[in-house]
A and B are shown apart, each in its own frame.
Chain A
Amino acid sequence: MSEAIEAERTFYDKFPKEARIVRAAFLSSFLALILGAIFGIIQTLHRTDVARIIPSTDYYTVLTAHGVFLVISFTIFFLVGLFTWAVVRSLDRPLLNTKITWTWYALMAVGMTMTGVSILAGFTDAIDMSADVLFTFYAPLQAHPLFYTGLAVFIVGSWIAGADWFRTWLAWKRENPDERIPLQTFMVLTTMAMWYIASSAVAASVLIFLLPWSLGLIDQVNPTLTRTLFWFFGHPVVYFWLMPAYMLWYTVLPKIAGGRLFSDPLARVVFVLFLLLSTPVGIHHQYLDPGIAEGFKFISMTNTMFLLLPSLLTAFTVVASVEYGARQRGGSGLLGWLTDLPWRKPEFTGMMLAGLMFAAGGFSGMVNAGMNINYMIHNTIWVPGHFHLTVGTAVALTFMAATYWIWPQITNKPIYSRTIGLVQVVVWFIGMALMSNAMHAQGIMGVPRRTAEPEYSGFEYATMFGGFEELNIQIAIGGTLLFVSTVLFIGNLVLTMGNPKVSGLADPLPPALSGPNDSPKVLDNLRLWVGIALTLVVLAYALPLAAIIQRGGLLGPGVGTYPVWLSPALDALANTAVSAFGAVGDASASLVEVIR
């Protein structure tokens, strides 16, 4: 192999301009991570009644901040950095114009700052601004217009980012007309195609309904319609978070394990399946909604169940690639090879533990998807138990673990302490195992999610797998470990930034065992897949959306407006009064005047 010369050059050496952008995106992501973690620990200790340092009415500000900062800022900033790296690295060519790149980065940063400010303002009565509507922002609870505006700006930024990568790929294609799309670029392009389809709905919901409504231009909205548009986006967005983790599992993890990807064609098939199936499933978040026919729910369920397929295939391909690595390192036996893996590398152990957690999350996901069994766990803490395994570990822990590998590539600085890194990923795993397990168990008992005080005066929860109190302690210990793990991660990274630049850190990625030329050419036909994806979306959503609009009208069946932007105590009073007198429209209009 002629890697000797290549091996001396890192991504930073070859593409310093792009490396700067990747670093900027990662740093924005980690800033959101630390903020999200602080709100996370406040929330964990509050909910479990270990330490209630804020009034319970402020809990929802904390919850909104925790959700938005982690699942929007942390994940998406990391992935735009990672995708920039992946496109440039796998095409081995610079971006067309880094001014455009900095433009989308700035748009995303400004948008997120606007949204963040509108959320954090909820802590003080001095500013009449709040966005205590949680990540799901269901109308008719209404956030300050700045919240919606910021989200729209952020999403537009991500669209330009996608266009930036598509343009770079097209330029490469002109230079290399006969070649297959390199795997990482293929993954980025299919993921972004899915993102364009998915985010169009939430953008429409915000721009057509929620933003004009929060500005007082329209009096009311249809809560079922805006909810449905949210979940049109809200399910594929979880795959938007997950695809970069999959990319790392497919293209980086095998290398770290000492091997190479088992099958390039299957990786492509998996990403195509996600493009096709991620979106026409959102109604499975609305199994218990009135106003949506059971047939639509059933269709959504079967689509969702088939969406298991690419993940189950991924489990096989990734583990097989790791096994190949172990065998290359001399591993033998049916399972004995597991001991021949580089468990001391934080990037390896972190990603493997993340994958293991994802396997567990796969099970609770099947329950979530199972239509009628949803009665048992809908809106219980089982659901956050599930997504802390998926986005909270499969994605978050993979990103952190990958940072230990990729950060030296984009900075030429070695990690300050790989031992701390190893401790950090293991602590995350233990913390999440405790917290998530207890959340699932409480969910089966009927303990609700999204509440400051899950204990009620009128009844006691039944005991199962341990009592309510005991499970609370598990959640509190788990949450605390997760916070400690985040602090270790950020601390290690800050110390790494102080390291001097060195050479010899390059770690190029090997090709797959079964290469791209083994896969049918049709897999690279993005137009075809986008066309089919759109068709499936139309099939899954045209009738439900038409039925919802026919039932309630575009602007809803006379539902009021409930702004959360006054101080919480006043807010509750105001709402009660407003609903009692039915003078909702006027009140919101006058509120808008006050804000202006």
Chain B
Amino acid sequence: MHIHAYEKLWLAASVMLILLLVGSVTYGAIGPGVAMVADSEPTIDAGGLDEDERFSEPRVEQVGENEYEAYVVSFQFGFQPDPIVVPENSTVTFYVTSRDVIHGFEVAGTNANTMVVPGEVSEIKVEVEEPQEYGLICNEYCGAGHHAMEGKVNVVSQAEYEDRTSGGDSE
């Protein structure tokens, strides 16, 4: 089979491009340590979240020094807790599940983004820095009120966070 020399050159360049792409993604996983949401969590009874230890009471919990876990329930059409309040300069692991249909969990303008599938728990760990208010949106169509489904992720100062947690039972 006859292939023109220029075409062979282009084929080689194309393979190099593909290697660059796969290489970049691999670098992202190994260097900065970007991890994919995956099957780390067992399945859960979407109809029985009320009896679940973590999701019957959606909340943020401290689990170590500067380490927090946020148990988030998404539903038609909102998120709980809302807002999700976490302290600055900490590591936060979100555990997100749905009690009805498929939703999205996207902290707008950031890389914190995952599908939320009923029966599954999405686990994503991020590091938050300065105090900042982020928008939280559902980015998967979930029914007629989908566009109204939003929440907030508020990164607050340590002092404010302590105020909130010690100040009342509401959090």
Contacts and interface: CB of A to CB of B under 8 A. Distances in A.
Contact of B47 (A317, A366, A445, A584): A584
Interface in A547-596: 547, 551-552, 556-560, 562, 564, 568-569, 571-572, 575-576, 579, 582, 584
Given A290-B41, A459-B152, A373 B25 contact: yes
Size band of the interface chain B makes with A: 35 or more
Contact of A57 (B6, B144, B150, B151): B144
B104 A140 contact: no
Contacts, number: 249
A292 interface: yes
A456 B137 contact: yes
A449 B139 contact: yes
Nearest to B152: A458
A288 B110 contact: no
A519 B143 CA distance: 52
Contacts of A461: 108-109
B138 to A, nearest CB: 8
Contact of B100 (A132, A140, A316, A453): A140
A456 B106 CA distance: 13
B28 A372 contact: yes
A456 B38 contact: no
A140 B144 contact: no
Interface centre among B36, B44, B123 (most CB of A within 10 A): B36
Contacts of B71: none
Contacts of B77: 572
Contact of A450 (B24, B47, B116, B146): B146
Given A459-B134, A579-B99, A60 B11 contact: no
Interface in B47-66: 47-48
Interface in A280-294: 286-294
A200 interface: no
A294 B39 CA distance: 8
B128 interface: no
B7 A317 contact: yes
Given A305-B21, A308-B17, A519 B1 contact: yes
Size band of the interface chain A makes with B: 35 or more
B165 interface: no
Nearest to A138: B102
A461 B10 CA distance: 41
A302 B139 CA distance: 26
A406 interface: no
Contact of B143 (A224, A312, A376, A562): A562
Given A290-B120, A308-B14, A369-B21, A446 B35 contact: no
Interface string A284-325: 001111111110010001100110110011001100100000
Contacts of A265: 1-3
Nearest to A61: B144
Interface string A131-147: 01010001011000000
Given A223-B102, A305-B21, A458-B135, A379 B140 contact: yes
A290 B37 contact: yes
Contacts of B2: 263, 265, 514, 518
A134 B141 contact: yes
Given A313-B11, A458-B135, A559-B119, A306 B18 contact: yes
A371 interface: yes
B106 A547 contact: no
A518 to B, nearest CB: 5
A403 interface: no
Given A552-B119, A575-B101, 10 more contacts: A56-B147, A290-B114, A293-B38, A305-B18, A309-B15, A375-B34, A380-B139, A458-B152, A551-B42, A579-B76
29 contacts: A140-B100, A140-B102, A262-B4, A305-B21, A308-B14, A308-B21, A309-B11, A312-B17, A316-B10, A370-B21, A373-B28, A375-B34, A375-B112, A378-B115, A450-B139, A451-B146, A451-B147, A458-B151, A514-B2, A518-B1, A520-B1, A551-B42, A552-B43, A557-B45, A558-B119, A560-B46, A562-B76, A568-B144, A575-B101
A-B pairs with lowest CB-CB distance, top 3: A459-B135, A568-B144, A557-B119
